[in-house]
Amino acid sequence: MVSINGFNLDLIKFKKVVLDLEKLKIEDSALKRVKESYEVIEKIVNDNRRVYGVTTGFGKLVDVTIPKEKIDLLQFNILRSHSVGVGEPFSFYDVRGAILLRINTIIRGNSGVSLETLNALVELLNKRIYPYVPQKGSVGASGDLAPLSHIALVLIGEGECIEDGKRVRSIDVLNKYKIKPVKLRPKEGLALINGTQMMTSLAGFSLVKSEILLKLSDVVAAASADALLSTDLPFEKRISNIRNHKGQVDSAYNIYNLLKGSNIRRSHKKCSKVQDPYSVRCIPQVHGAAREVFYFAKGIVEREFNSSTDNPLVFIKEKDVVSAGNFHGQIIATALDSLTIGLCELGNISDRRLYRLLDTNQTGLYPFLIKDVGLNSGFMMLQVTTAALVSENKVLAHPASVDSIPTSLGQEDHVSMGTISARKLKSVIENNFYILSIELFAAMTALYLRKPLLSSKPLNELLNWFFKKVEPVENDRAFYLDVEKIFSLTYSGEVVEKVENYLKLK
């Protein structure tokens, strides 16, 4: 069970709850804040104060005063009117992450939500309920209104959930798990939907996968470098240390140690080649740049995990409520667009190495790594696939965060498009796993063809394990089946875990 208090949620805890499906516990100190925050809202309503979203309409309708007897109905209506998403649904994990992050925001004490409503959210999470949330329709300010509305709709017994791949009525799911529909109180509808939790959930998932991707990129690059009879000199510590970038230093460490002890490397130490092409020689510089953007994005996203992004914001000590703009997703949008651009180059440089692995003039091996070339095409079309994915990544790298379009009749006249940034990032990461899976397939095949010369201990163990999972290539076959299998091994982190049995990677 994972314990949170509104200030201590990091990527490790996010992964445990969202991906590993551990249950959630709220610390007592956080529950105390929630109670006190709700009491501030109760007093404001009793005092007939005019507060946005509590006693007024929303967006452009801020000037409309809501009669006291209809304040609760207002909160139900905002969930209904704002549930306007379209397209394919977000994944179970994306929605689960958004629920977790909304809980963590509420328990900071700046939202004015009752303990009853908070507990219902926690039950959704702990009972693994999967609200139906369409992917499209958020402009990233006021936060993720449409996606979060679809989640909150489930709490009141409306909207839909997904069970066994089918859309079903939420009320039926609540009844099945013995959860009573929530009776919303003043501000609660708005408090459940005003924030950046959908884009930040996608960001958290992408960061978890990016950690795997960065290590995988170094493993695959090292295997290709050895198969291409490259030197390990550019990866020496002294080279990266005089440039002072942690990402480059970490990547160079991985590559150098992955190649350490390779008999293939020793076999050509005195060859006439002076230097390797950039796609090999500059691996730490390119991979390191992606790492630097990852470090930057991770810091921002983890801070956003533990931020109050509601509007209006409740301040317990002052017993005050203030309208502001913490819901604006620009900081997340900018960080995720930057990470998308950085990660794109992992795919780009991977495709260049793959291209060289298929060239007999570069390797001295069979063209396209196959016997009887001509009769067989080998890896020829697999490189076409990587070329297509690399080009698709370049389109996806266009930053969503530089766009804005006015909404709500001009009241919300600058928006972040952060959720679009987050969705694009997920696509680029998936494409990169496919690209690197194909390069890994080629690199392992090339190392297999180098026998009896063996690579380093980690890479040779990976080679032996790999060809227990995938048949060596002797003749043409439907390679998409191999790619699907290898993708499952890379995307799950199995390949990296296998290597880390022999070498701990940075």
Angle between helices 197-227 and 457-469 (to 10 degrees): 110
Q: What are phi and psi of 3, to 5 degrees?
A: -105, 130
In one-letter notation, the amino acid at residue 368 is: F
Q: What are the distances in angstroms from CA 186 to CA 33, 56, 198, 293? A: 17, 11, 23, 41
In one-letter notation, the amino acid at residue 122 is: V
Distance CA 81, CA 90 (A): 20
Query: Which residue in this structure is represented by tokens 């100190």?
Result: 29
Q: What are phi and psi of 322, to 5 degrees?
A: -130, 130
Query: Which residue in this structure is represented by tokens 């997920």?
Result: 426
Is 52 an active-site residue? yes
Residues 6+ apart with CB under 8 A from 314: 37, 40, 41, 109, 110, 111, 112, 320, 321
Q: Would you state the structure tokens that stand for residue 396, as one six-digit string?
A: 């996806």
> Of the listed 52, 355, 448, 502, which one is catalytic?
52
Q: What are phi and psi of 480, to 5 degrees?
A: -60, -30
2-4 and 134-136 strand pairing: unpaired
Query: Which residue in this structure is represented by tokens 């994972």?
Result: 2
Number of neighbouring beta carbons within 10 Å of residue 62 = 15
Beta partners for residue 163, in sequence order: 166
Residues 14-32: b if buried by 16+ CB within 10 A, e if exposed: bbebbeeeeebebeeebbe
> 418 near 196, Cβ under 8 Å?
yes
160-163 and 166-169 strand pairing: antiparallel
Catalytic residues, by residue number, are 52
